[in-house]
Chain A
């Protein structure tokens, strides 16, 4: 271990900390010799402060407070994608879906607001974009997703400033909300929905309902067209029923095989060339096809699918030892890419990192997921599942899970809307509180 090179010397670090600057203990102890690490303790670095990474950092400290946990995330405040559709619909404000890292710091996590530029899996060193190096015994990576551009003619990364995806929350959410608000009366809002796999399978359809909610109040003659790049979608029957009951004919969904397939977009004139014909839009919400966050690719953690193969019990990468991948970037059997899944995986992964540092066998528990979707502020539906590991594969527990009841009472859908908000409050407090 002593051959590890450190860009910051131990003496300088001590001087920094003496000067009252917070020095992450991973840096400090990286400068110490690793032999000092006692069994069960160690340095764990977590990359990405989203649902997966932030939850992993918090639960690592919960399971073994003696482990030094460093979370590396560039943003000082994280805006959740969950509930960002509610912002677009005008139900909540951006501030209500923005969370800082103060809670994690209180739980003893060292938080560094930096970008990771590379990782050396042999030397077990993370290099930050400013050149700093951080050593680890175990690394957890939860970089989320990135987009596949260049799939459709006329559509590259730069178009997001004109036709927002709003599939990473923040400025993109605001932009789409503002475009919706300034759309002409009777205009057409077109969503290009992505092919599988993508983060939050019911997300595009929840968004359609939230856009309809806004329009029915402020622009009732407008309409919504969804050009889908696939032929079916999550909770489809429940969404269709909910749209009809609440918004009549306002939302039209076109399957890929019925003309939804898009060939290209004339971004300047907002004209979409689809199988269906040419569509003139007033607002375009183009949600691109997706792959694991680029860092995962750069680290060599992905396979040809664009996502990361992992051990289904411990989430350790099948490519690099001592590196675990969770959340949207990981291939976790049939688990949907959701915040709830990411948090579930984070706990099981954190527990297994704690086990491995203590030189103990892997521990198994059950993963769980729930995706709630609001159709109106008082009408929501859900899909849930509980997962087990069988023959090294994540599989849904038979008989468990499933979707909300069809043709349920309005009372029941209203209760689900209240539970949707309860879920949001609980999970964001669990992760960032």
Chain B
């Protein structure tokens, strides 16, 4: 808890920079929508929707695709395009969608 507070305080000092009008996690996550559906809510197609996924599962699956411990037809090729930080940001955003 204390640790978390410190991190937040640290972020606040950096946040002297102008705030962003668009959330970067959202912008990153939006790139998944073309396949997984708008807001991750694909219906009726073969591609699994992501709308109901908790953030932690998105993170673990993206990392599994990236390092090859999970195999897909296409996800490995996409997952390798993102850094840890980006995966966490986009997962946090998608995670919110399920609520």
Same complex for A and B? Answer yes
- A residues near B, CB below 8 A? 40, 59, 63-64, 340, 343-344, 347-348, 351, 354-355, 358, 360-361, 363, 365-368, 370, 382, 384-387, 397, 399-402, 404, 412, 415-416, 418-419, 421-423, 425-427, 429-430, 433
A429 and B38: CB pair below 8 A? yes
B47 and A419: CB pair below 8 A? yes
B18-45 near A? 1/0 per residue, CB < 8 Å: 1111101001101101111110001111
Q: How far is the CB of A414 from chain B (nearest CB, A)?
A: 10
* Binding stretch for chain A, among B2-10, B56-64, B76-84: B76-84
B46 and A365: CB pair below 8 A? no
B81 and A397: CB pair below 8 A? yes
Q: Which residues of B contact A412 (CB under 8 A)?
A: 73
Q: Which residues of B contact A416 (CB under 8 A)?
A: 73-74
- B residues near A, CB below 8 A? 18-22, 24, 27-28, 30-31, 33-38, 42-47, 73-74, 77-82, 86
The 3 closest A-B pairs by CB, nearest first: A386-B81, A422-B45, A400-B81
Q: Beyond A423-B47, A425-B42, is A401–B81 a contact (Cβ under 8 Å)?
A: yes
Task: Select which of A340, A355, A430 is within 8 A of B38 by beta carbon.
Answer: A430
Q: Which residues of A contact B86 (CB under 8 A)?
A: 366
Q: How far is the CB of B58 from chain A (nearest CB, A)?
A: 16
A386 and B24: CB pair below 8 A? no
Task: Select which of B19, B73, B78, B81 is within 8 A of A360 by beta carbon.
Answer: B19
Q: Which residues of B contact A430 (CB under 8 A)?
A: 33-34, 37-38
Q: Which residue of B has the minimal Cβ distance to A340?
A: B34
* Alpha-carbon distance A370/B43, docked complex (angstroms): 20
Task: Select which of B20, B46, B81 is within 8 A of A419 by beta carbon.
Answer: B46
Q: Which residues of A contact B79 (CB under 8 A)?
A: 400
Q: Which residue of A has the minimal Cβ distance to B90?
A: A365
Report 16 cross-chain contacts, Cβ distance below 8 Å, ordered by A residue: A63-B21, A343-B34, A347-B30, A354-B21, A365-B24, A366-B81, A397-B80, A399-B80, A400-B81, A422-B45, A423-B35, A425-B43, A425-B45, A426-B36, A426-B42, A430-B38
B22 and A427: CB pair below 8 A? no
Task: Select which of A348, A360, A433 is within 8 A of B18 by beta carbon.
Answer: A360
* Alpha-carbon distance A429/B42, docked complex (angstroms): 9
B38 and A363: CB pair below 8 A? no
Q: How far is the CB of B99 from chain A (nearest CB, A)?
A: 18
A344 and B31: CB pair below 8 A? yes
Q: How far is the CB of B34 from chain A (nearest CB, A)?
A: 5
A351 and B38: CB pair below 8 A? no
Q: Which residues of B contact A347 (CB under 8 A)?
A: 27, 30-31
A422 and B42: CB pair below 8 A? yes
* Alpha-carbon distance A100/B42, docked complex (angstroms): 19
Q: Beyond A384-B78, A404-B73, A422-B46, is A64–B21 a contact (Cβ under 8 Å)?
A: yes
* Alpha-carbon distance A419/B86, docked complex (angstroms): 25
Q: Which residues of A contact B46 (CB under 8 A)?
A: 415, 418-419, 421-422
Task: Select which of B27, B31, B45, B74 is within 8 A of A426 by beta carbon.
Answer: B45
* Alpha-carbon distance A386/B33, docked complex (angstroms): 14
A361 and B18: CB pair below 8 A? yes
Q: Which residues of B contact A340 (CB under 8 A)?
A: 34
Q: Which residue of B has the minimal Cβ distance to A422?
A: B45
Q: How far is the CB of A233 from chain B (nearest CB, A)?
A: 20
Q: How far is the CB of B20 from chain A (nearest CB, A)?
A: 6
Q: How far is the CB of A362 from chain B (nearest CB, A)?
A: 10
* Alpha-carbon distance A430/B31, docked complex (angstroms): 11
* Alpha-carbon distance A56/B79, docked complex (angstroms): 24
A363 and B47: CB pair below 8 A? no
* Alpha-carbon distance A402/B31, docked complex (angstroms): 17
B18 and A427: CB pair below 8 A? no
B27 and A365: CB pair below 8 A? yes
Q: Which residues of B contact A385 (CB under 8 A)?
A: 77, 81
Q: Which residue of A has the minimal Cβ distance to B31?
A: A368
